[in-house]
Amino acid sequence: MASSNSGETGAGLVLRSADPLNCETPISALMGGTVTPNENFYVRNHFRVPAIDGARWRLEVGGLVRRPLRLGITDLVNLPAQVQTATLECAGNGRAFLAPPVSGEQWELGAVSTAEWTGVRLAEVLDRAGLKSGAREAVFRSADRAIGRHSRGAGRFEWSLTLDEVHQADVLLAYAMNGQPLPIQHGYPLRVIVPGWYGVAAVKWLTEIEVVGQPFRGYFQTEKYVYEWERDGRLEREPVRQMRVRSLITEPDADGEVDIGPLAIRGLAWSGVAPLARVDVSVSGGAWQPAELFGQPSTCSWQRWELLTKVSGPGRIALRSRATDGAERTQPEQPEWNRLGYGNNAIQEVSIRARRPRSSFAGR
Ligand SMILES: Nc1nc2c(c(=O)[nH]1)N[C@H]1C(S)=C(S)[C@@H](COP(=O)(O)O)O[C@H]1N2
Ligand SMILES: [Mo]
């Protein structure tokens, strides 16, 4: 597999910060297909993208296993391959719309993308290593590092899943993205994909899997990616896990103009908690109308949806979409504020303007 080591971002992304590199997907790039082209896939990094020599890179699998493994890319590619379409959404997607404002990357709506990932099932690798009794969690460690001294154990990206979670989500160790070797900014040569979970669990530049017998208490999962609310004067905390139900309007363009007459409203919707049950669309505050959903309902990947309607007069039109999943979770009218600004799945409103068609047949 060729090593891809350019850290560049093309013009296909909206830059949020250059160092570390953080970019969101332009909504216009999400029109059309289910998968997002690699050059348009959002990028979320806590540290600088590491330099990796694919030929020397190894994945170490150790801890509570009978046969510790040391695998190169060829070893992984020679194991049975699994292909999985999965949506990744950063838990901070939509943070920019919280009031009062929350510090952190100011994502609007484009910190979400979908790719077809190819790799090896983590269960397959763990089977080969052989779990010892008492094995409880898999800890994923990566090659990226904080520059200089970092407080509170934040110097390195680590995340763990219980073995039950590994089994339920059918975690993938992916080496290819949309049929290409993983681009360096998306974790070359190997990353974790946890279908249905917020992107944070999808550890990039994976170098080590340690099987441990105690709950792992890494900084990112115990301090950083946590919902925090103050309720009745008490602090409540809940770790970030599955993606909340959400929908996105991709067409027509926000602030765009449309002709009076038939109008197609299109978008995407997903939930990592349960497959979607429905998406409803409201035009200018009118009743919710059921949209048509395309593709297979799944907690792994978003689905496209469409509502065909008609615009009868000129002026401003507000479009809103609301997804509901099979667990009866639905999108809230207003964002649910939490201290670190995660999981904002509030209903999006897109405003457009309708005008009389330029070549009007009216009055003939
Ligand atoms: N090693 C490493 N893995 C990581 C991160 C990181 O900073 N370092 N960021 C995580 C977060 S918060 C998200 S949302 C996804 C983003 O994946 P992407 O950049 O391929 O879109 O990667 C996750 N995996
Ligand atoms: Mo994220």
**Are 111 and 45 a contacting pair, CB within 8 Å?**
no
β strands within 68-224, DSSP E: 69-71, 82-89, 112-121, 137-145, 156-162, 172-177, 180-181, 191-193, 206-212
Which pLDDT does position 50 carry in this prediction?
96
Please report which confidence band the pLDDT of residue 152 belongs to, taking 50, 70 and 90 as the band edges.
low
Mean pLDDT score, 316-325: 98
d(CA 191, CA 173): 6
Q: What is the pLDDT of residue 149?
A: 62
Q: Nearest ligand, CA of residue 204?
A: 1
The residues that bridge with 305 in the sheet, in sequence order, are 267, 293
Query: Contact at 8 Å (CB) between 273 and 242?
Result: yes
* Beta carbon of 240 within 6 Å of any ligand 1 atom: no
Would the pLDDT of 216 be above 90? yes
Do the strands 206-212 and 180-181 form a parallel or antiparallel pair, or are they unpaired? unpaired
List pLDDT tens digits, range 93-151. Answer: 999 999 999 999 999 999 999 999 999 999 999 999 999 999 999 999 999 998 766 55
Sign of the C-alpha dihedral, residues 177, 181, 187, 189? Answer: positive
Instruction: Give, in degrees to the nearest 5, the angle at Cα 117 between 28 and 207.
Output: 115
Share of the chain above pLDDT 70, in %: 94
Q: Is it the case that residue 154 has pLDDT exceeding 90?
A: no
pLDDT score recorded for residue 4: 37
By alpha-carbon position, which residue is closest to atom 21 of ligand 1? 43
Prediction pTM value: 0.94
Residue 5 has pLDDT above 50, yes or no: no
Looking at residues 67-72, what average pLDDT do you find?
98
C-alpha of residue 308 to centroid of ligand 2, in Å:
34
Question: What pLDDT score was predicted for residue 95?
Answer: 98
Alpha carbon of 45 to ligand 1 centroid (Å)? 5
CATH 3.90.420.10 residue window(s) in the chain = 50-239
Is there an atom of ligand 1 within 6 Å of 45 CB?
yes
HSE-CB of 94 using CA atoms within 13 angstroms: 21
Q: In this model, does residue 281 exceed pLDDT 60? A: yes
296 CA from centroid of ligand 2 (Å): 25
Q: What is the mean pLDDT of residues 226-232?
A: 93
Cα 102 to ligand 2 centre (Å): 15
List, for residues 181-200, the tens digit of each pLDDT value.
999 999 999 999 999 999 99
Residue 144 beta carbon below 6 angstroms from any ligand 1 atom: yes
Q: Looking at the CA of 92, which ligand is closest? A: 2
- Ligand 1 site, residue 188, Cβ cutoff 6 A: no
Provide the pLDDT confidence category of residue 8 given band limits of 50, 70 and 90: very low
For a mutational test of ligand 1's pocket, the pick from 4, 38, 45, 159, i.e. the residue with the most ligand atoms closer than 8 A to its C-beta, is 45
- Domain(s) of CATH 2.60.40.650: residues in the chain: 246-355
Tell me: pLDDT of 364 over 70.
no
Degrees, nearest 5: CA angle 258-93-51: 115
Tokens 């065909």 belong to residue: 308
Q: Identify the burial level of 62 via C-beta atoms within 10 angstroms of its C-beta, where 0-12 means exposed, 13-18 middle and 19 or more buried.
A: middle
CATH class of 246-355: mainly beta
CA-nearest residue for atom 12, ligand 1, is 200
Is the pLDDT at 262 greater than 90, yes or no? yes
Angle at 247 between CA 158 and CA 21, to 5 degrees: 40
What are the pLDDT digits (tens) for 17-37? 999 999 999 999 999 899 999
Average pLDDT, the chain: 94
We find that the CATH architecture of domain 50-239 is Alpha-Beta Complex (3.90)
- Taking only the tens place, the pLDDT of each residue in 346-360 is 999 999 999 998 765
**Looking up tokens 């429905």, which residue turns up?**
278
Q: Is the CB of 276 under 6 A from ligand 1?
A: no
> Any alpha helices (H) in the chain, and if so which ranges?
73-77, 122-129, 163-169, 219
